[in-house]
Homo-oligomer: A and B are copies of this chain.
Amino acid sequence: MALQGCTLEADLVSLRETIHTQLENYVSAASNPGLGDCPETLRESVAYSLLAGGKRLRPVLVLLACEACGGDVDAALPAACAIEMVHTYSLIHDDLPAMDNDDYRRGRLTNHKVFGEGLAILAGDALLTLAFEIIAKEIQPGSVAAACCADLASAAGWCGMVAGQVADIEAENREGTLSGEHVLQEVSDDNLIRSAALAQLESIHRRKTGRLLSSAVTLGARIAQVSQESLHRLEQFGNRIGLAFQIADDLLDVTGDAKKLGKGVRKDASLGKMTYPKLLGINESRQRAEALIAEGCQFLTPFGDRAGKLIALAQFVTQRDH
């Protein structure tokens, strides 16, 4: 069932091309005469961030999960693009001065640095709204479209991604609880505090990134119209790779190369931010991510060879260097 690394890489390149082309179709004026009511600056601001590249992990997960469930991958493409729009909106808003105040993203100036804060807020709003419009209009039948909208909204909303961002900001602002050197001192003294901090860190990441990654997997499964039991299996898989991805991301901030990543590294440490490597060390963090992936992949056993690419992607997540 295991795929060669090079095969996966080739598959990823091809899938990313398909996704990029479709995203371009949605936001280019030329291929979209229906955009007549959209101000050109708004369209440019949306396209600037959406077409900036990135790993396209979420849309790839939608497509591979659909394939694993025996569904038609082409039919899942609108949902794949929609989830990338939700991810991109969250990056634009998170980068704003009122939040993380970042100047660079994916190796380019952040949206508000180029288009101004007002337009960046509105471009994010537009992308979030467009995601639901695309799923509602293009996923068939309507009952599946509604289930996908519900799934995505629940993952992205005030008990999911938005909650995670609020919790993250609050944890950074709070003194002497989760973040900062002071806590680390306590943490090393006391296993109880260490495990409480770990639970809090997981709670933030589960909402901030885990829920959306998990919904990428369930969207693909819903479009393939799988049974409730299969949907549950993919959900369990998605929850685990969602967390593993965040641990891998924290590790890359410590061990990664800024050039390959297209963004600054060692930022978490300089902000005194709590991360997995800080709490568990590099080796234990890596082991934890690998264990989560292995556990997640167990849930895919009944899907057989069809889940090969999805499993290969999950394994790749903890091994990537960018």
Contact = CB atoms under 8 A, between A and B. Distances in A.
A69 interface: no
B153 A136 contact: yes
A137 B128 CA distance: 18
A43 interface: yes
Contacts of A43: 158
A99 B169 CA distance: 23
A91 interface: no
Interface string A93-115: 10010110000000000000000
A187 interface: no
B133 A154 contact: yes
Nearest to A162: B126
A104 B137 CA distance: 37
B129 A158 contact: yes
Contacts of A221: none
Number of copies: 2
Contact of A153 (B96, B124, B129, B160): B129
A132 B153 contact: yes
B149 A136 contact: yes
Interface in A111-128: 116-119, 121-122, 124-126, 128
A292 B137 CA distance: 31
B118 A169 contact: yes
A85 B158 CA distance: 13
A240 B73 CA distance: 42
A75 to B, nearest CB: 15
Given A118-B99, A121-B96, A130 B158 contact: yes
A158 B142 CA distance: 23
A261 to B, nearest CB: 25
Contacts of A119: 166, 169
A131 to B, nearest CB: 8
Interface stretch (A30-38, A51-59, A298-306): A30-38
B133 A170 contact: no
Contact of A37 (B39, B98, B163): B163
Contacts of A185: none
A163 B129 contact: no
Given A39-B170, A42-B163, A142-B142, A147 B158 contact: no
A247 B135 CA distance: 34
Given A99-B121, A118-B98, A146-B146, A129 B162 contact: yes
Contacts of A146: 136-137, 139, 142-143, 145-146, 149
Closest 10 CB pairs of A and B: A142-B143, A133-B153, A98-B117, A126-B158, A136-B149, A136-B150, A129-B157, A37-B159, A142-B146, A145-B146
